[in-house]
Structure 1
Amino acid sequence: MLMKKLPEWYYDELIQVGTDYESEDEVLNYDRKMGSIRNIAGEAETMCKLIDIQPENEILEIGCGTGEFSIELSKYCKKVTALDISQKMLDFAEKKAKFRQRENIKFINAGFLTFDSGETKYDAVVTQLVLHHLPDFWKLIALKNINSMLKEGGKFFLKDVVFSSEIQDFDEYFSQLFQNMPTEADDKVVEAMKLHIKEEYSTFDWTMKGLIEQAGFKIEEYVHKKGFMATYLCIKQ
């Protein structure tokens, strides 16, 4: 498995948008915050049941961050390959996995466009809150890459910020969203969300559906919550 050598005209996914996670302090803050606002162990268990992960399966996670989800996934399958474009994130994740004695995880500095799985085909690919880092054209290229790395009938689980086309007034919607943030979401979480809306590439639900289907997937299950958080369970056609 190698990092692809890409043409000069390819989008550079290694340039981070939004929060800079090359800072060790930001990585540590991110890890602490995710631990406080998410039940990652519960999310992993639910997702593994949804996808029907088996002990002999090999899973690819794209955008593993500080590794918490990869560590949980590794309890249900044979092997996890975990990608992230931030080497600082990967260093933190590797130390965490080693401390918890999870030896069936391979961490690789790569992303949607740059990872080359070689001859390896995965039983499932999962990615959460990462695809929005790419503009829509490159989302499709990324989704096609994912499809090519799956076994026939392999599953793809996507969770990301995807805006509902039913929202009529986005000024009012975001104003209400920021006013009604849960108490555990501090000022940094709110500022990160504002930065996300301003500088990142979250798209609409109808666009994401078209991109997923164009990439060769059938959407088996789709859930949209709060007007901006979507999950898709897909199968390779």
Structure 2
Amino acid sequence: MKELPEWYYDELIQIGTDYGSEEEVLNYDRKMATIRNIAEEAKNMCELIDIQPDDEILEIGCGTGEFSIELSKHCKLVTALDISQMMLDFAEKKAKSKQRDNVKFIKAGFLTFDPEETKYDAVVTQLVLHHLPDFWKLIALKNIHSMLKRGGKFFLKDVVFSSEIPDFDVYFLQIFQNIPPESGDEIVSEMKLHIKEEYSTFDWVMKGLIEQAGFRIEEFDHQNGFMATYLCIKE
């Protein structure tokens, strides 16, 4: 990891839900397997950003590694970052069990990762950038821009709130009420914790941050007023 100035934000501090034990990490991994089709997501991602067999991809915030492992089937190398050593240990074991030897796991994040001389063909990050306040989001996005080859693609998925929502009290109440009962109280609790303690921002702010970092937004999608995806290019 990079040696950072004393005034830098400490991104290694856990924000939001804390997966501090192996059992919690295992439960998280099982939950993701039931609510997501990771293989299909990875296939769609590769088509979206036109991944080639010789490409090197960086994933920031890999969690238990499932998405990085799937991406590794379509490219030369995946470098997978996470700030949780517990998550990384779990991910490494999973990669070995699946005989994927072209995934490199590193403890680091947006601010602390040192790519040395490597320039990536694509960078992917999903539901992680909201862990940083807006000032540090811009620093993170500038870092990503510097890590990409010219013409490289950046895919961002995160919770980004629509500025067109007239009443957030009513809006969030409806979200909580519309969560299916089978999802359990845990999902509601995690969402409330996210809104209360994490740093999701507005759509107009995120657009400005991405463009200020030097990217051109090629595609943008916003679902339900809070789940946003951006496909960006380094020109």
TM range (shorter): over 0.9
Deviations 1:75-105 (A, max 9, x none): 1100000000000000000000100111100
- Kindly tell me the number of residue pairs found equivalent between the two proteins: 235
CA distance in 1, matches of 2:49, 2:173: 36
Deviant stretches of 4+, over 4 Å: none
For the residue of structure 2 that corresponds to 1:20, the secondary structure is coil
1:232 & 1:109 partners in 2: Cα distance?
Answer: 25
Measured in 1, the distance between the counterparts of 2:92 and 2:180 equals 31
The CA RMSD measured in Å over matched residues stands at: 0.7
Using the size of structure 1 for normalisation, the TM-score is 0.98
Corresponding residue of 1:109: 107
| 2:9 match: secondary structure | coil
| Deviation of 1:21 (Å) | 1.7
* Counterpart position of 1:93: 91
2:34 counterpart letter in structure 1? S
Equivalent of 1:53, from 42, 51, 54? 51
C-alpha distance in structure 1 between counterparts of 2:33 and 2:72, whole Å: 18
Deviation per CA, 1:179-212: give whole Å up to 9, x if none: 1013442211111111000000000000000000
**Is 1:174 paired with 2:156?**
no
Give the distance between the partners of 1:175 and 1:94, measured in 2 at CA. Answer: 39
Q: Is 1:195 the counterpart of 2:189 in the alignment?
A: no
Instruction: Give ranges in structure 1 of 5+ residues lacking alignment.
Output: none
Whole-angstrom CA distance in 1 between matches of 2:15 and 2:221: 26
Match of 1:43 in 2: 41
Aligned letter for 2:75?
A: C
The offset of 1:158, in angstroms, is 0.2
Match of 1:31 in 2: 29
Greater CA deviation, 180-189 or 159-168?
180-189
User: Using the alignment, how far apart are the partners of 1:17 and 1:223 within structure 2?
Assistant: 26
* Cα offsets for 1:160-197 (capped at 9, x unmatched): 00001111100000000011013442211111111000
Q: Does the 8 A contact of 1:37 with 1:185 survive in 2?
A: no
Pairing partner for 2:230 from 198, 210, 232: 232
2:183 alignment partner, SS class:
coil
| Structure 2: runs of 5+ lacking an equivalent | none
The TM-score normalised by the length of structure 2 is 0.99
Cα distance in 1 between the residues matched to 2:212 and 2:163? 19
- 1:91-147 CA-to-partner distances (Å, cap 9, x unmatched) read 000000100111100000000000010000000000000000000000000000000
What is the correspondence of 1:50-199 to structure 2 with a 5 Å cutoff?
50-199=48-197
Identity across the alignment (%): 82
